[in-house]
Chain A
């Protein structure tokens, strides 16, 4: 059934491609491609492979868009370029978006790439953390910036956070391997992969499996763009949808495209392949199977709002705007 659906989507996409290409050709004389920037949340890697595919295969060009993919980094702003209009769309996360909105940013979430939150607790098999209840008595290495995440996990699972020893560390698996800590708060798709590539098996407890329901890699745009640049938003999200469908259909090709487009990034093919695989269950769910990539329902929004409340962010469903996705998946 999965394959059937993918096939259907791809065929739909093909039909759509033809239409868009024809439309593009008709309009080509009249207008040049419209520039638009997609602000990524981190350095280039297979984490954004769907976008690279959209770029490399010309999905955006077919919609008359000339998309620039702006990389993020440890000290890179994501929300400000979107507010200032330098980027049309930013890749944020529900908690960062909520914080920015509380500070007056006029954002809407227009799509959700990661249906399940990638935050996890990674540990070594000889001293594993398999459930939140295993955390008391352990030393956890984490960036202090992620304290609200750990607090939320503890609140959701009735764990006494005071019984966990928090060691502020850099974002790296080194403190775990050096025996400085018993576990790490990290993404399931990066530090555990880094350890696996180095030949170290680890135990990963995905926080999303323990009540931490928070949409991640959310696409954000401003109210103004939603009013005045709708066609570009639809085109950009359509390219994303097609790119991620292609990713889903062929992970090897997605990894290859990622490596080809970033020869200077020192990306390890094995690590990228592993990361690509571990992303799949986070990004594709029954909901996206049924409704399409990036989709969110009243129920998934409500879950995220509840987790956000535990994190101390008070938001309403108005933060989400599904009109762009509806247009993308209708057409």
Chain B
């Protein structure tokens, strides 16, 4: 059962008109907001948007074809890469940590900085758009897939072993089937991310597309066009989300099996070994960084090598000033990213739990949740910042919106992974929904929740830096944008390194919490 099914199944039990009522309610609230005094320079209502689309349908269709193709290519490439990486990690368990660490590191590279570099590498054309879309999705598929590839009952592996078959047979016949529901969840989360990646990719200098039109509309005060673009982007993301969910429901009819081992927890590695692994990953990353630049013959004016960053931050006469500027900006950024991240985690899990307890609400909540995430942050950032002020609240709210959706989908999906047999036990003892939630569904949710928490961390950094770059002009996001415009590439690369390392460190913190919590709940699952 997929995440979408978890939401849709109860909806079917509710009133038949409930989804329509949800959408209608959303439209009414939206129109009302747009009619508030002062909103006319920031928000266009559904009527104005429909009118604009009616007049400019051909233009929008052409832009959608361009951006849609970029997003689709990035979606396909990114998810294929995720599947390949996850399979490699499972096939060669010794390499798993290294693969996971490098995959994380690449995902943590801030796109404010990678965009222009990709543009220089590719030259004119869709290269940066496709690459940024792929980079935006591969990790959110890789992480749940890795969990899913392990989420098979030990008995299934015993069957494979009893036939004398090896690891690849195990992957082909057991793990891929076990992973399929997790893959569906990953692909669903990927849909809006790919679209956003393609749109931001167009900011690096594209001839046409919805990202290009968005920049123009924002600058031209064309509120109708701005929100028409956001609406189309959201509708496409919602359609893809629903289509993947529907495909998942058709393909995956097996009820979830009982797992007698905690998935994803992994053996507790000794601290020494973990440090060794980290050092190895760091070394490989540095070698790749340096090697790629040399291989492509990238000019040292903008393609700074590891040694340049080291000099800029450590050995230069001005290194102390550079560090002060960079870490000051980073501190500003983290002060917004951390509360936004935590709020997003809490909101995502809370809504998933609420929908499990009151399934009828799903019809209203699901469209709102998907729409919130699917409307590109590029469009919403100025609006939310204006509504909530240029202080901390606006940025924190935007980060929470970005985090909320993947966590919500993953948590919903995890709640649905509570095995039928276990739920039957609760049923037979006439236990209430709350008991069932606390003792069966929440523990089942935790692996997926933590996977989402880990992979959302880079999304939080992405959200903050994009808001800082486009709306508030503070923090490390603005610093990166200014450095790029002033050709201060040593600062830009240093910011990339420091942001990526900070994200990886945050990831390690979450992973440590995850290991503790899952270890405690593993006992329950073994009961």
Which chain A residues have a beta carbon within 8 Å of chain B's beta carbons?
A: 37, 43-44, 68, 70-77, 79-81, 83-84, 86, 96, 99-100, 102-105, 142-145, 167-175, 177-180, 190-191, 194-195, 197-198, 264-268, 271
Contacts and interface: CB of A to CB of B under 8 A. Distances in A.
Interface of B: 38, 41-42, 56, 59, 62-63, 66, 112, 115-117, 119-120, 123-124, 200, 202-208, 212-213, 215-222, 225, 298-302, 381-382, 386, 390, 470-474, 478, 481-482, 484-490
A198 to B, nearest CB: 5
A77 B202 CA distance: 12
A173 B478 CA distance: 20
B233 to A, nearest CB: 15
A179 B386 CA distance: 10
A71 B487 contact: no
B298 A170 contact: no
B221 A71 contact: no
B258 to A, nearest CB: 49
Nearest to B478: A144
B115 A71 contact: no
Nearest to A172: B218
Contacts of B301: 79-80, 83, 100, 103-105
A168 B381 CA distance: 13
A103 B488 contact: yes
Q: Which of B124, B200, B221, B472 has the most CB of A within 10 A?
A: B221
A171 B472 CA distance: 10
Contacts of B490: 103
5 nearest A-B pairs in the assembled complex, by CB-CB distance: A168-B473, A76-B205, A144-B473, A100-B487, A75-B203
B216 A175 contact: no
Contact of B119 (A76, A143, A191, A195): A76
Given A174-B386, A178-B386, A179-B38, A103 B487 contact: yes
A74 B112 CA distance: 10
B474 A144 contact: yes
24 contacts: A73-B202, A75-B115, A76-B204, A77-B302, A79-B302, A80-B116, A83-B301, A83-B302, A84-B302, A100-B301, A100-B487, A103-B490, A104-B300, A105-B301, A144-B482, A170-B471, A173-B41, A174-B41, A190-B219, A198-B221, A264-B208, A265-B216, A266-B59, A266-B213
Contacts of A170: 218, 381-382, 470-471
A264 B299 contact: no
Contact of A194 (B63, B117, B200, B221): B221
Q: Which of B119, B386, B470, B485 has the most CB of A within 10 A?
A: B485
Contact of B220 (A103, A180, A197): A197
A174 B488 contact: no
A70 B473 contact: no
B17 to A, nearest CB: 38
A168 B486 contact: no
A139 to B, nearest CB: 11
B219 A145 contact: no
Given A75-B481, A170-B471, A265-B216, A44 B124 contact: no
A267 B486 CA distance: 29
B169 to A, nearest CB: 47
Nearest to B301: A83
B489 to A, nearest CB: 7
A103 B386 contact: no
Q: Which of A77, A144, A145, A177 has the most CB of B within 10 A?
A: A77
A174 B41 CA distance: 6
Contacts of A72: 205
